[in-house]
């Protein structure tokens, strides 16, 4: 970078910087948002596209510098809009942005697809003054195209690498969002989750990831999998930054029916950033089954984390059972809803892309051959075998079963029996049941294995219990301070 002062800031200050620290410098005019964007673009060049080459960014917003300059001028002439004014944010590439960037879900078939309008959450971010810096790579189609596709791979974007080590899984499907924020390529990012796609990359990249209650954030303008389970959510390096971002994402949208029952539409989540938030909280450890997949080193980290919860004032009940854990689960709800929801989305994109149905996508992939189908499209094919409407007895029975087993015989039962404020899962191992319930979870860095691989601790609760989860997560974070930036270990 030609400007030595900016180069120094990029290397010494930008890494691990928080929203509050940036706003302090912006308000004092010690830095501008335009300079901030330049520094992040330089880090993307140094870290993402060369050097470690983690490959987390699929596209950069060509207007980012102009938007930043406009927001700098607005700050001088009218003042700040709020905590996200002039803050660079990354967006997963399955979220519509009506600008010069594409929205492709990592697919070569949609590589030239432009959204006609912003997703609702993108509109809200722009209104809050955020700068959409770029789109992040992901596991293609949010990991709902092939059975054996590795997390972080897309035919359009290639393979995302974990900045803590190329041998570690990066987590999916919001892989690029996780790797980019871990590597300090933006302040925060928006990921999406159907089952583990925010929590997993947050755990694997030593980040905070909030998977909110389904309906807290509008899904309008997000390439869908399942309207029963889909949600967007924030990914950041601190609980506070993730909470600030959550404040700007939540809301009621007349175009997303799930948001009509949003109990927290006007709630300020930052009120729950309490250092003593664990004091008196009753927390159950879902040890049975969920801890079985951990390595010896990961288990040691989790056991230390559980001990720390008690030291920070929590009442810990170890080895609780979730009654439905070992039930015979299926993915019928996702398979049926994917075909229906995706085809509704495809009607909104430009006809020049040439796909309107799931069958069209399958055929387009086949025409592209190995370039598009390195790992096949078995999930696409299975979904295309469904009826394409939601009247099938198989679908309706699975929908009812998932709802009952995940809620009444699942999380609700476990929390009621032990009068819990939250459940604990290791990493994202327990994401399926809360995902099927549409319940919220938050992942926080818990430490690192002997090999340096990040380990996350995930707190889960019932619908619209985000305030409680934020109190727990913030208290744990402040009492441990586990996160260490990559490339420094």
Nearest CA to 191 among 204, 180, 178, 205?
Answer: 178
What does each C-alpha distance from 454 to 75, 187, 428, 457 come to in angstroms?
38, 20, 12, 10
Q: Are strands 57-60 and 441-448 parallel, antiparallel or unpaired?
A: unpaired
Distance CA 393, CA 113 (A): 35
Q: Among 56, 104, 154, 173, which one carries the catalytic annotation?
A: 173
Residue 197 known to be catalytic: yes
Q: What order of strands is seen across the sheet that includes strand 441-448?
A: 57-60, 131-136, 88-92, 188-193, 231-236, 208-211, 441-448, 454-460, 422-426, 282-285, 315-317
DSSP for 39-80?
A: HHHHHIIIIISSTT----EEEE-TTHHHHHHHHHHHHHHT--
- DSSP classification of residue 91: E
Residue 173 known to be catalytic: yes
Q: What residues contact 4, with CB distance under 8 A and at least 6 apart?
A: none
Burial class of 322 by CB neighbour count within 10 A (0 to 12, 13 to 18, 19+): buried
Distance CA 473, CA 283 (A): 12
Contact assessment for residue 11 and residue 481, using Cβ atoms and an 8 Å cutoff: no
What is the SS3 assignment for 204?
helix
Distance CA 229, CA 391 (A): 18
Q: Among 197, 200, 248, 441, which one carries the catalytic annotation?
A: 197
Structure token digits, residue 190 = 């928006």
Residue 218 known to be catalytic: no
Q: Among 33, 56, 92, 406, which one carries the catalytic annotation?
A: 92
Residues composing the chain? 489
Nearest 5°: the CA angle 114, 120, 124 is 115
List the catalytic residues: 92, 173, 197
């Amino acid at each position: 970078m030609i400007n030595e002062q900016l180069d120094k800031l990029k290397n010494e200050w930008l890494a691990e910087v928080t929203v509050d620290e940036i706003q302090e410098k912006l308000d004092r005019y010690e830095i501008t948002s335009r300079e901030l964007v330049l520094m992040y673009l330089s880090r993307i060049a140094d870290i993402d596209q060369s050097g470690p080459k983690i490959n987390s960014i699929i596209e950069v917003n060509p207007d980012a510098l102009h938007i930043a300059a406009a927001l700098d001028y607005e700050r001088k002439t009218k003042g700040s809009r709020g905590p996200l004014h002039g803050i660079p944010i990354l967006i997963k590439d399955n979220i519509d942005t009506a600008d010069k960037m594409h929205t492709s879900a990592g697919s070569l078939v949609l590589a030239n697809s432009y959204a006609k309008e912003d997703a609702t959450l993108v509109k809200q971010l722009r209104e809050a003054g955020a700068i959409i810096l770029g789109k992040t790579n992901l596991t293609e189609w949010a990991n709902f195209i092939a059975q054996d596709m590795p997390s972080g791979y897309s035919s359009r974007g290639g393979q995302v690498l974990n900045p803590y080590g190329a041998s570690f899984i990066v987590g999916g499907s919001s892989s690029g969002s996780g790797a980019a924020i871990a590597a300090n390529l933006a302040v925060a990012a928006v990921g999406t989750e159907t089952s583990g796609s925010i929590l997993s990359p947050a755990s694997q990249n030593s980040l905070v990831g909030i998977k909110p209650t389904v309906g807290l954030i509008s899904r309008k303008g997000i390439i869908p999998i399942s309207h029963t389970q889909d949600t967007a959510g924030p990914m950041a390096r601190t609980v506070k930054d993730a909470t600030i971002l959550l404040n700007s994402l939540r809301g009621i949208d007349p175009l997303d029916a799930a948001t009509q029952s949003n109990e927290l539409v006007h709630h300020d989540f930052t009120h729950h950033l309490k250092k003593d938030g664990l004091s008196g909280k009753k927390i159950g450890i879902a040890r049975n089954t969920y801890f079985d997949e951990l390595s010896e080193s990961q288990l040691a980290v989790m056991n230390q984390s559980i001990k720390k919860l008690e030291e920070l004032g929590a009442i810990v009940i170890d080895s609780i059972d979730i009654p439905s854990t070992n039930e015979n689960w299926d993915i019928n709800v996702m398979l049926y809803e994917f075909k229906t929801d995706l085809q509704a989305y495809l009607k909104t994109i430009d006809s020049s892309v040439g796909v309107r149905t799931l069958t069209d996508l399958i055929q387009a992939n086949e025409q592209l051959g190995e370039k598009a189908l390195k790992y096949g499209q078995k999930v696409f094919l299975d979904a295309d075998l469904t009826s394409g409407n939601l009247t099938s007895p198989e679908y309706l029975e699975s929908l009812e079963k998932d709802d009952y087993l995940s809620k009444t015989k699942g999380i609700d039962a476990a929390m009621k029996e032990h009068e819990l404020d939250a459940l604990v899962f290791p990493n994202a191992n327990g994401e399926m049941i809360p995902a099927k319930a549409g319940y919220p979870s938050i992942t926080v860095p818990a430490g690192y294995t002997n090999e340096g691989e990040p380990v996350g601790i995930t707190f889960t609760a019932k619908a619209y219990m985000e305030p409680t989860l934020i109190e727990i997560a913030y208290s744990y974070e402040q009492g441990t301070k586990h996160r260490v930036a990559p490339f420094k270990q």
